[in-house]
A and B are shown apart, each in its own frame.
Chain A
Amino acid sequence: MKFNKKNSALDALMLAAGMAVVGLACAQAPAPAPASAIPPTWAQGRTADGMNPSLAPNPPGISAMPADEIPVSKLKVPAGFKVELWASGMPNGRSMTESPSGTVYVGTRFTGNVYAVVTKDGKREVKTIAKGLHRPNGVVFTNGSLYVAELSRIIRYDNIEKNLDNPPAPVVVFDALPKDEPHGWKFMTLSPDGQYLYFQIGTPANIVVPPYTHATIVRLNLKTNILETVATGVRNSVGMDFQKGTKELWFTNNGRDWADENLPNDTLNRLARPKGMNFGYPFCHQGDFLDPEFGKGRSCDEFDKPEMKLGAHVAALGMRFYNGNMFPAEYKGNIFIAEHGSWNKSKKSGYQVVRVVLDSKNKPVKLEPFLTGWLEDDKFWGRPVDVQMLKDGSMLVSDDETGAIFRVSYGK
């Protein structure tokens, strides 16, 4: 799979301008000075008679709230559970992973930092182990190395655990990914056999016929360095996890904007076949909602369906299965999903961690709030991004607004 980086950006530009056919045909020609630019990504697809035009994205969280100002007491969990502030001081801390020794690595989207949270003698220390990276949102730890997914490349820090105070220069693993900024940050996870890094290449716009490289989930073979597409028609997935037992990949997907305040839903999806599934973007959303523009002449029957609808604009990001032993038995095998929260709904939704229960046939049958309290009176003070189960069976939740991580435990 080869990428022509320059052309993919150009394609995206021209496709977004509605020149789908022309864009591909003249990708090799010198770019003419654009007569009219394209709107910023977030405003694409917005119609004057559509949703409230005064809605605009929330400012990204780029600073850390001091620990003693974080209103952790406002967070609510079901009876028997406890939520506490676990670590703070990580501006824009987002995706998490835990190493075998218990170090938690945290990626960012806006600050370019990667953090390591070390627990020693009951004390927690946050170390900034990398700065100046380009949207280092994805983190995976394996074989003593930390892999970081930047916007357009995968890098690796070898023997990192012994060198947290003096990290080595990173090794570039793969640097031929598209450079589109919209939906260019990555969520990354390791396959159960340890051979592949799975991550998404998001669509370079809100709603557009994407280049064939985009709106995909791909995997990078760590031995051969070959990149393969495993799923298409995925607008942007910023959370995925392999299910224990079936070893199937489940992932969240963010629905398009500006079609309707209550449509389409963000979705929870299952990769039932290792290759070849198409989840519909940009033609069909949530398995049964034809795109008002791109859906013309198409049918949702052409595409694979999500396992569950999660709500419109909730921004379902990080998701993980609960395989631990600390929570009550009925939580075993559940899926927890962090909802970053809406920005283009008149009444805000999301801003919570939800619990999805699967039945004996492995079908999601129940969706309920689990950790709430970031949103009050339609105002938010924090935004959950990722969930990470620790070896002790407790669950961490990152919040890129406060730059903090919370821990949910049960009992005691």
Chain B
Amino acid sequence: MKLVMNTKAILGVAFFTTLSLSAASHAAPPDALAGKVKAQTCFACHGEDGISVSSEIPNLAAQPALSITYQLIQFRGQQRKGGAMEALAAPLSDQDMRDIAAYFTSLPPPPAKSGNADQIAKGQQISSTQYCNSCHGPQLQGQKHIARLAGQSKEYLVTQLKNIRSGTRIDMDGTMGSAARGLSDDDIDALATYAASLK
């Protein structure tokens, strides 16, 4: 058990006096242009066009905005770890995250990847029996805070599914853990090939 004291929000009396003035204004809407500026650091790995430079790094183009925000929040909180993302997310505010997400979600989706036809067919079959579509959408394009899988790097998907299966990667509400638990390495390979082949 680690004790961490890093969340300390102090609410003073002064705050309440200013509240009536500020309550009328809302959170700044996500700003893709500001996001592009804030995302400069991201480009070295994830690409300015949201297409990553390496197969172990995820494409972010056309990811649902909330799915990007949620992952950044979990990296910042060190609940999810990997690729030095914990350190990179540490200084980001919620607004930074919303802006960055707005930028990447606005980009054209990654192209469909070719793959072994048998593997793709097998992956489609497993996707159906595992109910992947019920959360990730009919074409695995993602929705709300659920990640887009279509056109994602196959290698990245394989790594993530294995990490979720082993518990190495955080399972936010138990859904992905129970979905991945029964998958063999071959199943995972086929699923990832299928998802990567979608547009």
Binding site for B on A (CB under 8 A): 13, 33-43, 56, 58-60, 62-73, 84-85, 87-91, 110-113, 115, 122-132, 165-167, 169-170, 181-182, 184
Known: A37-B130, A56-B135, A59-B144. A69 touches B27 (CB 8 A): yes
Cα–Cα, bound, A58→B66 (Å): 11
| Tally of contact residues, B, Cβ under 8 A | 50
Cα–Cα, bound, A263→B157 (Å): 39
Shortest B141–chain A CB gap in Å is 14
Number of A-B contacts (CB under 8 A): 143
Q: Which residues of B contact A69 (CB under 8 A)?
A: 22, 25-27
B128-164: CB near A (< 8 Å → 1, else 0) gives 0111001100000001110000000000000000000
* A110 close to B173 (CB less than 8 A): yes
Q: Which residues of A contact B177 (CB under 8 A)?
A: 181
Cβ-defined partner of A37 (8 Å) among B69, B73, B129: B129
* B22 close to A68 (CB less than 8 A): yes
Q: Which residues of A contact B1 (CB under 8 A)?
A: 130, 132, 169-170
Known: A131-B4, A181-B177. A33 touches B182 (CB 8 A): yes
Counting from the closest, the 5 A-B pairs by CB-CB distance are A181-B174, A89-B9, A59-B145, A128-B7, A69-B27
Shortest A113–chain B CB gap in Å is 7
Nearest-CB residue, chain B, relative to A170: B1
Q: Which residues of B contact A167 (CB under 8 A)?
A: 3
Cα–Cα, bound, A164→B198 (Å): 51
* B27 close to A65 (CB less than 8 A): yes
* A181 close to B135 (CB less than 8 A): no
Q: Which residues of A contact B172 (CB under 8 A)?
A: 60, 62, 110
Binding site for A on B (CB under 8 A): 1-13, 15-16, 18-20, 22-27, 66, 69-70, 73-74, 77, 79, 94, 129-131, 134-135, 143-145, 171-175, 177-179, 182, 184
* B5 close to A165 (CB less than 8 A): yes
Known: A88-B9, A131-B4. A72 touches B19 (CB 8 A): yes
* B179 close to A37 (CB less than 8 A): yes
Q: Which residues of B contact A67 (CB under 8 A)?
A: 9, 11, 15, 19
Q: Which residues of B contact A89 (CB under 8 A)?
A: 7, 9, 11
Q: Which residues of A contact B182 (CB under 8 A)?
A: 33-34, 37
Cα–Cα, bound, A13→B130 (Å): 13
Q: Which residues of A contact B173 (CB under 8 A)?
A: 60, 110, 181
Nearest-CB residue, chain A, relative to B6: A128
Shortest A245–chain B CB gap in Å is 36
Cα–Cα, bound, A68→B94 (Å): 14
Shortest B31–chain A CB gap in Å is 15
Known: A68-B22, A71-B23, A132-B2. A126 touches B7 (CB 8 A): yes
